[in-house]
Amino acid sequence: MKRNLRRGLAALASTLALAAAMPALAQDDGLKLNAAEYYEGDAADVLVFSNWYDGLFADAKHSGVELIQQGERIATNGDVRLSSTPGQWDEIGRLVSRTVDPATGRIEVLLEYPDYRFQYRIVAEPDGDTVKLAVVLDQPLPAALAGRAGLNLEFLPSAYFHHSWLADGTGGSFPVHPASDMVAGGERNAASGRDIGPGAEPLPLAGGRQLVLAPEDPARRVGIRAAAGTINLYDGRNQAQNGWFVARSLIPAGQTGRVVEWTLSPTLVPDWLRAPVIGHSQVGYTPRQAKVAVLELDRHDDRGGDVTLLRVTENGTEAVAAAAAKPWGGYLRYNYASFDFTGVQEPGLYQLDYAGQRTAPFRIGADVYATAWHPGMDVYMPVQMDHMLVNEAYRIWHGEPHRDDARQAPVNHEHIDLYRQGPTTDTKFAPGEHIPGLNVGGWLDAGDFDIRTQTQYAVMRSLVGLWDDHRPMRDQTLVDHRLRRVELHVPDGKPDILQQIEHGALYLASMYDAVGYAVHGVVEPDVAQYTHLGDAASKTDGLVYDPSLAFGERRGERSGTPDDRWVFTSRSSALNYGSAAALAGAARALRGHNDALADKALRIAQGVWTEEHGHAPNTFSHGNTTGGWLPGEEFTAAVELLVTTQDPAYVAAIMRLWPEVSQRFGGYATTAIKALPHMPADYRTEVEQAARAWKAAPQETDPNPYGVPITTGGWAGNGAVIQAGLTDHAIHTAFPEVSDGAQVFRALDYLHGTHPAHNLSFVSGVGARSKEVAYGMNRADFSFIAGGVVPGVLVLKPDFPENKEDWPFFWGQNEYVVNMTPSYVALVHAAMAQTGEAAQ
């Protein structure tokens, strides 16, 4: 009765707040600093620099002051910025220190822009159901930042589509598509390094002392009141599709102290409870595998009740099992419980029902995994093929891209996306000179358009492993390298997996033809081109750059437009070994399919091995583009060469490297086990010992109810989940007494929907409900590429698991990376191997 009364009062308060244009809902205790050092209230939390900007790829939209309301993060990047709508690579202040006073709840953060010798503090203090925010200066704003520096707070556009705003009582609606006014000028092209025409800056949608977003919706309603000055509301999407709605107050020149003061008013709703999430596999389960649904519950949710398993029949549904969920405990900010229905083995369609939530139908059947890998190989992998026109029925995914690859990168240059060129080119080519022969093969790396060599050979090794272990003969794609054309859903009489291996081998071999060793990759020359969305073929003109021609001038196969991708060529032994390993594997897979390429791939791999052992290793390293751990890459090359050639010379190398590699067994288990049939008995004994130690050690970063490793870095951890499953399968296959291989099914259940935040399958187009808004080359269309695998749940500090399904631009959560799909396909085949299910 009390709960119902309070809900009624909350509804009345919501109506009053709407009439007053500023939220003032009834609340119990307001916003209070909790033990995790953020402000917590009924249905609303305010974080103050709990998270920091992503150092690898600049602004990842999770830092500064952030707002979580009714279980959704709707605002971020509350900080002093130098633009009304900052872009990904725009300047960001540097965090100096963060102090928290538990007694008063005050959070103070010191930041700076070193290039301007500008320091500032952001101070947050709870005040009832609001948070007072202030920008505090000890010295006046530098003259260079006058009219530029301001306090910003960014609001997620998809959270405010179809909602309104009020500015000093005057209202309007948030546009679904950007159409706000712009003014010519600005510095938007400064980061690009080339002139692409005049820039423009947005004019505000609205402004006033008091701004209310979504006054009609308690789930989205947020108020901001300025003590002085104006708060302007901007739409950042005219400049970049991944822009946000931004509230902004300029910092006045010539003043010190509390130069900007805001009152931030989230909407508190007493007794609000987040709806339960019923984590389950959207694909389904084989009859004999473990079947465990995981319930994710609001920490205040004590309603209890049974979970019911329903069988779907011609006449509707019928209950076949029901029980109270088994409590698991707390993890991050939620409580968890489980419902085990392993005993239900009858094939059919089923649903789960709990607390008013009912899942989409899923199958129990012996063949549930038989087609789960098809979208990855039928659609996603062909779509990612570079240097090929890719057509699907009436749709061209992209024309033939990058016929103008590639120009030698400049020396002593640190580039975007973790590429760097050292003090020399290490080639016969001068900086800026065209390097012929690199316009063949390879896959577009991710949602962007570079070819990162380390990713290329990871894809190759996964595909070769698939062929070695499972021989999938599926043929649904026509690949014509002579015409540089791909047709989806058109069989051509050749196994698709071999054609993909062939495509990768053509690119890796082209590096050796062009410069004699493995390059870091090819990537766009500047930010303006890097951010290209749409058809990859329109990103460059396809003509080799000729500096003797005027900009835009074309003569034959050359042009004066310097849009050609750059190739980074500083020598790296790790990259060379990694590429050699992939080519050695390709040589055995391609035997009988393309013998000439198989011979060439093996010749290159053996040549790399001989050449690298003739000198001290090249240890140039930068980011994630110069190869992995050197001993591990050499070990991998030795194993692949041994398996392909049976040459005992590689046995000695493996034995020499094994003691060091064994210390990182989890990362190299599948490779070490692959060598077993060709190695002496004492090696097998040592690998088994390492496998037992790995199985005995804790695998999860933190204990969690899903039984898989959930990482907490800036990139979500589906890759780690897949790797754990593949490692366990390899151990189970080699040493069945050490492992039962169950991690394979836990990993697949996680990927298919048994995970935090929601229960969508992380594999687009796979399962009843899956990721249908993701970060591919088509992300501006809010769409997906079937078979692509997203990174998954990103754990934002201190305790918020997130995977947005309505905003594709969070790359750490939603960006397809090309090597994830082959490794997922391998995991599905591992499950089929364990259940005896034949691939289809």
pLDDT in the model for residue 8: 36
pLDDT in the model for residue 456: 98
Q: Is the pLDDT of residue 56 over 80?
A: no
Q: 717 is written with which tokens?
A: 């951890």
For 127-156, how does the pLDDT look when each residue is reduced to its tens digit (9 = 90+)?
999 999 999 999 999 999 999 999 999 999
Q: What is the 3-state secondary structure (H, E, C) of 443-506?
A: ECCCCCCCEEHHHHHHHHHHHHHHHHHHCCCCCCEEEECCCCEEEECCCCCCCHHHHHHHHHHH
**Higher pLDDT among residues 24 and 411, named by residue:** 411
pLDDT in the model for residue 54: 67
pLDDT in the model for residue 344: 98
Nearest partner of 294 among 359, 237, 247, 229, judged by Cα? 359
pLDDT, averaged across the chain: 93
8 Å CB contact between 237 and 216: no
For 425-437, how does the pLDDT look when each residue is reduced to its tens digit (9 = 90+)?
999 999 999 999 9
Which structural domain, as residue segments, surrounds residue 449?
388-627
pLDDT in the model for residue 15: 31
pLDDT in the model for residue 836: 85
Q: 348 is written with which tokens?
A: 């059919």
Lowest mean pLDDT of 42-46, 183-187, 289-293, 710-714, name the range: 183-187
Mode of pairing for the β-strands spanning 284-285 and 362-364: parallel
Averaged over 510-534, what is the pLDDT? 95
> Residues 476, 541: one domain?
yes
8 Å CB contact between 311 and 317: yes
For 335-351, how does the pLDDT look when each residue is reduced to its tens digit (9 = 90+)?
999 999 999 999 999 99
Lowest mean pLDDT of 174-188, 280-294, 392-406, 805-819, name the range: 174-188
Point out the domain boundary residue: 241, 266, 291. 266
Point out the domain boundary residue: 215, 238, 266. 266
> Residues 358, 491: one domain?
no
How many other β-carbons are positioned within 10 Å of the β-carbon of residue 302?
9
Q: Is the pLDDT of residue 1 over 90?
A: no
What stretches of 500-578 adopt beta strand conformation (E)?
Answer: 521-523, 544-545, 554-555, 558-559, 566-568
pLDDT in the model for residue 191: 39
- 510 domain residue, yes or no: yes
Q: How far is CA 202 from the centre of its chain?
A: 29
Nearest partner of 764 among 787, 792, 783, 791, judged by Cα? 787
- 829 domain residue, yes or no: no
What CATH number is given to the structural domain containing 301? Answer: 2.60.40.10
> Residues 562, 442: one domain?
yes
Averaged over 483-503, what is the pLDDT? 98
* CA 473-476-480 angle, 5° bins: 100
> Residues 230, 285: one domain?
no
For 99, residues 6+ apart whose C-beta sits below 8 A from its C-beta are: 107, 108, 109
Q: Is the pLDDT of residue 4 over 70?
A: no
For 106, residues 6+ apart whose C-beta sits below 8 A from its C-beta are: 100, 123, 124, 125
CA atoms within 13 A on the CB side of 208: 17
| Residue matched to tokens 């022969």 | 437
> Residues 288, 431: one domain?
no
Q: Is the pLDDT of residue 587 over 90?
A: yes
**Higher pLDDT among residues 14 and 454, named by residue:** 454
pLDDT in the model for residue 840: 54
Helix (H) or strand (E) holding 421: strand 420-421
For 80-94, how does the pLDDT look when each residue is reduced to its tens digit (9 = 90+)?
999 999 988 899 999
> Residues 249, 288: one domain?
no
8 Å CB contact between 450 and 565: yes
8 Å CB contact between 518 and 578: yes
What is the Cα–Cα distance from 634 to 578, expressed in whole angstroms? Answer: 7
- 196 domain residue, yes or no: yes
pLDDT band per the 50, 70, 90 thresholds, residue 838: low
Q: Phi, psi (5° rounding) for residue 526? A: -160, 170
- 371 domain residue, yes or no: no
Overall number of domains in the chain: 3
Q: Is the pLDDT of residue 27 over 50?
A: no
> Residues 143, 229: one domain?
yes
Lowest mean pLDDT of 188-202, 528-542, 590-604, 674-688, name the range: 188-202
pLDDT in the model for residue 53: 82
What CATH number is given to the structural domain containing 103? Answer: 2.70.98
> Residues 256, 307: one domain?
no
What is the Cα–Cα distance from 225 to 260, expressed in whole angstroms? Answer: 11
pLDDT in the model for residue 555: 96
Nearest partner of 787 among 760, 765, 805, 815, judged by Cα? 765
For 746-774, how does the pLDDT look when each residue is reduced to its tens digit (9 = 90+)?
999 999 999 999 999 999 999 999 999 99
- 240 domain residue, yes or no: yes
For 470-491, how does the pLDDT look when each residue is reduced to its tens digit (9 = 90+)?
999 999 999 999 999 999 999 9
> Residues 358, 392: one domain?
no
- 41 domain residue, yes or no: yes
Rounded alpha-carbon distances, angstroms, from residue 764 to 124, 251, 350, 460, 767: 41, 44, 21, 22, 8
pLDDT in the model for residue 698: 79
Over pLDDT 70: what percentage of the chain?
Answer: 94
835: left (phi over 0), alpha (psi -120 to 50) or beta: alpha
pLDDT in the model for residue 496: 98
What is the Cα–Cα distance from 464 to 819, expressed in whole angstroms? Answer: 13
> Residues 72, 197: one domain?
yes
Nearest partner of 558 among 410, 404, 433, judged by Cα? 404
- 800 domain residue, yes or no: no
What is the Cα–Cα distance from 174 to 266, expressed in whole angstroms? Answer: 18
pLDDT in the model for residue 88: 87
Point out the domain boundary residue: 318, 348, 364. 364
Q: 656-665: list long-range contacts, CB under 8 Å, 24+ apart.
A: 657/631, 658/683, 658/686, 660/631, 661/631, 661/632, 661/635, 662/686, 662/687, 662/690, 664/629, 664/632, 665/690, 665/691, 665/693, 665/694
Averaged over 43-55, what is the pLDDT? 91
> Residues 172, 294: one domain?
no
pLDDT in the model for residue 89: 86
> Residues 315, 260: one domain?
no
In this structure, the chain runs to a length of 840
